Structure 1
Amino acid sequence: MTDLQANEGKALESTIDGVAYQRLPIRTHLVLADDDLHQIVRKYAQPVVQDGDVLFVTEKIVAITQGRSMLLDDIHPRPLANFLSKYVTRTPHGIGLGMPETMEMALQECGTPRILLAAGVSAFSKKVLRRSGDFYRIAGMKARAIDGPTSGTIPPYDRSVVLGPKEPTRVARDLKTLLGGKLEVLIVDINDIGGNILGSTMDPARNEHWVRVLSDNPLGQGTQSTPMGIIRPVK
């Protein structure tokens, strides 16, 4: 039986706009590049989902099963990546593009001109306008979705860079079909300081609502091994 207990330190329920939701983490084995996402969903999610649920799947396991994770030792940053990474603000919640390897992957994913433009505008807005956040606004979702290594992550991902998933909306639709079409699916990028909906089978206008439902990151950010979960209205 799949374990649907709350992760340590995380609440099982959240109330948004007067509606209470359960956020039920689904534990899996350690997902690796040779795993098949559909088989994972069949094995762990299909036995526990109900009609009317919303299955939310982290972008990380989608990307991993698409072959979009690589070890740090296999990434060879160019001098530009070394230079730009020095100016990225690092936070306790993740390194982002603040290391040469993640910046190198941003250059490859987004293109050098776009990253240079984002860096230039960001430098100007921070110094002159005292405003932050312009780098990722200009660099775009591909840059924002790059996950760097953190010490609390399950190996080998504590020494890996994971890119954003390809075609997350198509992935969400495929998973909905796989599960019989009686529930909705979200591909999410949720961390301990916020999040984004990358792919959805629902109206995109509702994306911000689902980000709020998941804003405290019920799946956890480290070794919980819960890369997907269920949002279920409390009746």
Structure 2
Amino acid sequence: MTTMTTMTTMTTMTESALELVPVKTRIVTPKDDIGDIIAQYAKEGIGPNDVVSVAESVVAITQGRVTRPEELEPSFLARVLCRFVPQKGSLSSVYGMQAAMNAEGEWRVLWAMLVGMAGKIFGRHGLFYELAGEQAALIDDVTGTMPPFDKHIVYGPADPDGVAESIKARFGCYGAAVADVNDLKRAAVLGISKGLNAKQLAQILIDNPFGNASQKTPIVIIKNYGTAAQRVTARE
């Protein structure tokens, strides 16, 4: 029987309580399939009105989108540009920056950095991550994800919308999502199945019910989402 920890959150979308159920798993590796992991640990708890959300780093790990720092060869440009990223950012390390350059192209990253610096002079922040490519914002440097992959660099997942659609189809649930959430009240839904609203789901997950470290709860079932959404539609 799957062990689940339950927490309840209020959402302005539904004006009613949604039940968020984190699901405990074992350590997930590149040898795993994310659908099989959900089937093994969460299948019994998934209903037709539920949304299954999965942490993006775990999806990426099952896709083999990980590398060890020693497998990278940092360039002179990576060593320079990483100095301009705040320390809390994954690209502040030379290896994180090199990983971004490998994924998005070094000249694109350089151009984004130059435009981002110019933008800050005029009070426009965040241009670097807007222009440097998706992976620049999604890469997790070492210590940025669950053990034993805390000694790896983890890229963002490939085709997160497709992953969400495959989960929905396999388990017959109301929907599915691949989410990037942290403890700093930052939440982004990278992939969703058709019919879901990414911003609404991100708000529901804002308190980070995922536990990617010792908790090993990278799957969160949003119970009764479909029922709540139907009630809102009926009122409109």
- The answer on 1:157 being equivalent to 2:149 is yes
Aligned length in residues: 223
Q: Give the equivalent residue in structure 2 for 1:9.
A: none
CA contact (8 A) 2:212 2:218 kept: no
Select 1:36's aligned residue among 15, 20, 33: 33
- The answer on 1:54 being equivalent to 2:46 is no
* Equivalent position amino acid for 1:164 in 2: G
Q: How far, CA to CA, are the matches of 2:151 and 2:129 in structure 1? A: 23
CA contact (8 A) 1:19 1:233 kept: no
Q: How far, CA to CA, are the matches of 1:133 and 1:34 in structure 2? A: 36
CA contact (8 A) 2:51 2:223 kept: yes
Select 1:136's aligned residue among 129, 141, 150: 129
Q: Give the equivalent residue in structure 2 for 1:112.
A: 106
What SS class does the counterpart of residue 182 from structure 1 fall into?
coil
Select 1:196's aligned residue among 188, 201, 215: 188
Q: Give the equivalent residue in structure 1 for 2:92.
A: 98
* Alignment TM-score, normalising by the size of structure 2: 0.88
Task: Give, in angstroms, the shift of residue 85 of structure 1.
Answer: 0.7
Q: How far, CA to CA, are the matches of 2:104 and 2:72 in structure 1? A: 16
Q: How far, CA to CA, are the matches of 1:143 and 1:76 in structure 2? A: 17
Q: Give the equivalent residue in structure 1 for 2:231.
A: none
Q: Is there any run of 5+ residues in structure 1 with no aligned partner, and where?
A: 7-11
Select 2:116's aligned residue among 102, 117, 122: 122
Q: Is there any run of 5+ residues in structure 2 with no aligned partner, and where?
A: 229-236
* Alignment TM-score, normalising by the size of structure 1: 0.88
Q: Give the equivalent residue in structure 2 for 1:148.
A: 141
Q: How far, CA to CA, are the matches of 2:40 and 2:211 in structure 1? A: 21
* Equivalent position amino acid for 2:97 in 1: M
- The answer on 1:216 being equivalent to 2:213 is no
Select 2:71's aligned residue among 64, 70, 74: 74
Q: Which has the higher helix share?
A: 2
RMSD: 1.8
* Equivalent position amino acid for 1:233 in 2: N
Q: Percent identity?
A: 33
What SS class does the counterpart of residue 187 from structure 2 fall into?
strand
What SS class does the counterpart of residue 47 from structure 1 fall into?
helix
Alpha-carbon deviations, 1:143-183, whole Å to 9, x = none? 111111227x543222111001111111111111111x232
Select 2:219's aligned residue among 205, 228, 232: 228
Q: How far, CA to CA, are the matches of 1:228 and 1:85 in structure 2? A: 32
